Amino acid sequence: MHSTPYAVAPVDRSLEAALRHKIDAKTKPLGALGRLEDLALQVGLVQQSLTPALAQPHIVVFAGDHGAAKAGISAYPQDVTWQMVENFLAGGAAINVFARANGIGLTVVDAGVAHDFGARPNLVDAKIAPGTANYLEGAAMTGQQRDAAMARGAVLVRELAAQGCQAVGFGEMGIGNTAAAALITHCLTGAALADCVGRGTGLDDAGLARKRELLGQALARYDGAHGDALAVLARFGGFEIAMMAGAMLAAAQLRLVVLVDGFICGAAALVAARLAPAFLDYAVFCHASAEAGHKAQLAALEAHPLVDLGLRLGEGTGAALAWPLLRAACAFLDEMASFESAGVSESVA
């Protein structure tokens, strides 16, 4: 048995008919608000309310280093992880800008960066170790480290929920983490490795070929079960991915709306969904990443992202940009007139 409880209860669908009736009675043709109607229904079911409202949205960015990064699987040196954490703390990264623009709270977490930040006012020190081990040689983390990371992520979300947060998004930073996500995606979806591996931070053709070769070698050395989410996470994951998976499961257990960003967050969502399929009831897939393996993730999860902006930055940027759509979905459900209240004639068809 693993120490962290992963069970997630499916949403109670007893309100579904009433929610659909309320949506259909708005002053618009049936289905005319498209995906926003699906979103309003989902949030209403998650909150068990005909007037859902998403208070105190928050994005948590988990940062961690990967032992395999030094083997040349990224276009950037590993030091960029801690340097970008400093950028987050200074308020200068894309996620800082988008969170500010949309009134979203932001927390930065050191899940396992190979750098000593010291005590910092805006940084949560949840460091499991200074980076994972090199999965080209063995497991990236021990079972105990994986469980500790997942449990720590859960604690962070429980703290946010206790403060009134009803919608939580996740982001990440970690040089080499698209490679880890590609391996997790291949193992948990069965998609061909070549279809899961992309350019990450901007590899050229030679760099992409080297990345694919190295990840093929990593897979060849792995003799575990490819469908075992916890085993795959420990073998190839990063502390930031493990912490995010634990956080996602805790958010679903607490009936929060979970904003899933792109490819790296998608890998954590894959793990969460394999451990607790009902997690997907609470998950909003915010955007279609331009990173190669995201299509495989979305297909395996039967997920339909809200927007496709060609993003491949990570950091939770897609979640922040999708936030106004969730607000709009709740707002139309709550504020838009019905045919009856507005005195507008309904269709006679």
What are the residue boundaries of the structural domains of the chain, listed by start?
15-52, 58-332
Q: Are 279 and 273 in contact (CB under 8 A)?
A: yes
Q: Are 347 and 29 in contact (CB under 8 A)?
A: yes
Architecture in CATH of 58-332: 3-Layer(aba) Sandwich (3.40)
The DSSP letter of residue 196 is H
Q: What is the pLDDT of residue 197?
A: 94
Q: Rounded CA gap, 187 and 182, in Å? A: 9
* Mean pLDDT, residues 303-326: 97
Q: Which residue has the tokens 């922040």?
A: 320
* Mean pLDDT, residues 232-254: 98
Instruction: Please count the other Cβ atoms lying within 10 Å of the Cβ belonging to residue 343.
Output: 8
Residue range 31-83, pLDDT digits in tens? 999 999 999 999 999 999 999 999 999 999 999 999 999 887 888 899 999 99
Evaluate if residue 2 carries a pLDDT over 60.
no
Q: What is the pLDDT of residue 71?
A: 84
Evaluate if residue 311 carries a pLDDT over 70.
yes
* Mean pLDDT, residues 182-198: 96
Q: Is the dihedral of CA 212, 216, 218, 219 positive or negative?
A: positive
Please give the positions annotated as active site: 315
Residue range 97-148, pLDDT digits in tens? 999 999 999 999 999 999 999 999 899 999 999 999 999 999 999 999 999 9
Residue 287: both structure tokens together: 């955007």
AA identity, residue 39: L
Q: What is the pLDDT of residue 141?
A: 98
Query: What are the two backbone dihedrals, phi and then psi, of residue 254, each rounded to the nearest 5 degrees?
Result: -90, 5
Q: What is the pLDDT of residue 348?
A: 56
Residue 190 makes CB contacts below 8 A (sequence gap 6+) with 226, 300
Contacts 24+ apart (CB under 8 A), 305-310: 306/35, 306/39
Evaluate if residue 1 carries a pLDDT over 50.
no
SS3 52: coil
* Mean pLDDT, residues 277-300: 97
pTM of the shown model: 0.96
* Mean pLDDT, residues 263-268: 98
Per-residue CA distances from 66 to 18, 133, 161, 172, 233 (Å):
48, 7, 30, 13, 13
Question: What burial class does residue 116 get, using C-beta atoms within 10 Å of its C-beta: 0-12 exposed, 13-18 middle, 19+ buried?
Answer: exposed
